[in-house]
Amino acid sequence: MASITSKPALVTLRQLLYELRQQSSTKRLSENQMVLYIFNQYRKHQTTDQQLCKAAEEMHYRAKTYYNYLHYARKYKEINTEFKGKGERSLQETANMVGFKLPHDPKP
């Protein structure tokens, strides 16, 4: 249960890498400092495999939390940009909508 090479932990790793690929500005994932650090941490906790180890459990929980943070922050941004208002219409646009002309427009 506490193992970091267990399936749920690896699923979290894959999710984390997906999120980091979405947001990273570097082209290759191996250049991202956070990705390198995460791999490092996963490798470090690999050695405490079959034991009930608090550090590994804590690490997996932290990985999950970080994934949640990245995922939901991205989702929030996406929903916000999709539904964000464009602001007010200009005078010209409003006039056009109801079929009026502005006073300084030449009459046809």
Partner 1 sequence: MNSRNRELTAKRKKKRSNRFESTRKRFYRNTGIVQNETNWEVTLDHRRLKTPNGQVLIVRSEPLARAIAAEWDAQNEIIAQPIMHLTALCNTALDNPGKITSHDITSYLIDYFPTDTLLFHSEEEEELKNLQQIKWGPVLEWFQNRYNIIQEVSRKLMPPPVTTETRAVLARHFLSYSFPALNALSFGVEALKSPILMLACVDRHLDPHEAVLLARLEEEYQLTRWGRVPWAHELNQAELTARVSAALLVIQCTSESYSATAKTTNTNSSEERITQ
**Residue 65 touches partner 1, criterion: CB under 8 A:** yes
Amino acid, res. 21: R
- Decide if residue 99 touches partner 1 (CB under 8 A): no
Contact flag: residue 58 with partner 1 (CB under 8 A): yes
Neighbours of 70 (CB within 10 A): 18
Give exposure, 13-51, as e/b (b: 16+ Cβ within 10 Å). bebbbebbeeebeeeeeeebeebeebeebbeebeebeee
CB of 58 to partner 1, least distance (A): 6
List 72, 94, 101, 105, residue binding partner 1 (CB under 8 A): 72
Measured between alpha carbons, how far is 45 from 4 in angstroms, rounded to an integer? 6
Residues engaged in binding partner 1 (CB under 8 A): 20, 23-26, 32-34, 37, 41, 44-45, 48, 54-55, 57-58, 61-62, 64-66, 68-69, 72-73, 75-77, 79-80, 82-83
